[in-house]
Every structure is written in C-alpha cells, then in structure tokens.
Amino acid sequence: MSDAAALPGQPRGIVASGPATARTVNVLAPNPSAMTLDGTNTWIVAEPGSDLAVVIDPGPLADVHLRAVIDAVERSGRRVALTLLTHGHPDHAEGAGRFAELTRTKVRALDPALRLGDEGLGAGDVITTGGLELRVVPTPGHTADSLSFHLPADRAVLTGDTILGRGTTVVAHPDGRLGDYLDSLRRLRSLTVDDGVHTVLPGHGPVLEDAQGAVEFYLAHRAHRLAQVETAVEAGHRTPSDVVARVYADVDRSLWPAAELSVRAQLEYLAGHGLI
C-alpha cells in the first residue's frame, strides 16, 4: 500500500461522495473509466448557514446522478440556486441542461454555447450566491474554455480537469494548447503562494491536501515530457503516433489516443519556440 503523503499533492485516500471542506460536498458520478478515473466529481458549494447552493459540473446526462446531486443539496436544507461549468467536456457538462431543467437554475460557463441564461463567466468574476465568495480563475490549456474556481474561505481551488486528483491531465489539442496550460499552472501556483490555497478539489480523483506540491509536480512532469518529445524527434520520430510509441511506451495503450493529443500540443509548442 502506498503512503498518500508521499504521492504528488498528498491525495486524501479514496474517492467518495461526501463533505470535502467546510463549504464543499462531492457527489461522485457513476461514470468511472480510464479517462474519468473514479468518475466525475460534482461539487456542491454553499456558505454555512445559507439556504442556497451552487453546483459545479453536474456531470454526465444520467438522471440517477443528477437527482442524487439534488437530493444531497436538499438533505442539507438548501436548494440549488446556480449551476457552473469548469469546461464543456461531456463528462462534466452533458447533464447541465437536464440539471437546469430539474432545478430551474441558470447555467454559467465561459463558452456561450454552454450557457443557459444571459450571464457567462470570465476573469475577475466573483460568485456571491448565498453569501459565497467564489472567484473565477481562467485556466485554459486542457481545453480553451477551462476555468477553475478559487474558494478563499476554505483555502481551496476547484480545478476541473486542469489538475486531477491522480495522474496528469490531457492537453486536448487543437482546442487545448500547451503554452496556455503552462501559464494556467503558474497561475494556480500563484494562488498557493500568494493566496494561501492548500487544497485542490479536482474534477476527477481524490482531494489533494498539498496544492503547491501538486502544481509543482505538474510543471515538472510537463517539462520532462517536453524533453522526451524533443529527444524523440531528434532521434527521427516525426509523426505524433511515432512519438507516442517512443515516449509513452510504459503507458497503457488504451490511453495512447489521449496521449497523442498531448503530443500534438507538445510538438506545436516546441515548433513555435524554434526547438524542433
């Protein structure tokens, strides 16, 4: 058995539905897979004493899950007042329309195509529903529309797929771009250094107790992969699939299609900086 404290970010044991911080509760979606890990974490966020809750990433279009989220909110004596999306991938956002129908709430997102209502989300926005202070942090890179949400009162950040609770995320080229992703990781590192954030509430996988350690691990991992890709190209591996076979040889082959997206983003980044 591995020691969680020795793993990147210090993961908090198993992934399960239930409270994570003073203001957050996770409802785990029943959609586990190689890409979604244990399933999608749907986050309920509410100020103590408030009768209003914000839901982040309703998850897949599965009524059993959407109703489980609503039940969890209602058991706490609250009602859903607003729905937010970290990004538009189906495992996070496909159920948003149905969830909005069930809860009669608006859906706010960066991408206008995902919104239900007039308001979007952008840098500098602060969600204050029910007395919350939930700050919008642009974190593009995994996708162009990826956002994180800073919860200062809990010294936490909800990261969607930008930082996962286990493993590393895909830079989903061409929508995702590596330069943007590295900038986003540095932005999250600033939250840990300047704003005291110590907890990562990810879109998949366990809660991380060491936010700064998680960000540093991700930055080091990206630097290592870039160096490997550069070396592979220098050795004559020119196509993305050839580079994947060389660099990701120790990774489960079922994950190679996702790895190829990241490799395409890495090749674009290296070419843009004149390194290949």
Query: What order do you get walking across the sheet with 156-160 strand by strand?
Result: 126-127, 134-138, 147-151, 156-160, 199-202
Cis-peptide, bond into residue 19, ω within 30° of zero: no
Q: Tell me, what's the pLDDT at 1?
A: 32
Which helix (H) or strand (E) segment holds residue 93: the answer is helix 90-93
Q: Tell me, what's the pLDDT at 238?
A: 87
From first to last of its 276 residues, the chain has per-residue pLDDT tens of 345 667 899 999 889 999 999 999 999 999 999 999 999 999 999 999 999 999 999 999 999 999 999 999 999 999 999 999 999 999 999 999 999 999 999 999 999 999 999 899 999 999 999 999 999 999 999 999 999 999 999 999 999 999 999 999 999 999 999 999 999 999 999 999 999 999 999 999 999 999 999 999 999 999 999 999 999 999 999 899 999 999 999 989 999 999 999 999 999 999 999 988
* pTM above threshold 0.85: yes
Buried b (16+ CB within 10 A) or exposed e, 199-229: bbbbbbbbbbbbbbbbbbbbeeebeebbebb
Q: Tell me, what's the pLDDT at 211?
A: 98
Task: Answer whether 122's CB lies under 8 Å from 110's CB.
Answer: yes
Q: Tell me, what's the pLDDT at 7?
A: 84
Q: Tell me, what's the pLDDT at 5?
A: 62
Integer angstrom CA distances of residue 207 from 197, 241, 248, 263, 271: 13, 33, 26, 27, 36
CA-CA distance, 87 to 109, in Å (whole number)? 7
CATH node for 18-211: 3.60.15.10
CA-CA distance, 76 to 269, in Å (whole number)? 47
* Strand extents, DSSP E, the chain: 18-21, 24-28, 41-45, 52-56, 79-84, 107-108, 126-127, 134-138, 147-151, 156-160, 199-202
Task: Answer whether 115's CB lies under 8 Å from 125's CB.
Answer: no
Task: Answer whether 151's CB lies under 8 Å from 107's CB.
Answer: no
Q: Tell me, what's the pLDDT at 3?
A: 59
Q: Which residues pair with 140 in a beta bridge?
A: none
CA-based R_g, the chain, Å: 19
The full set of domain ranges for the chain reads 18-211
* Dihedral sign (CA 40, 56, 212, 172): positive
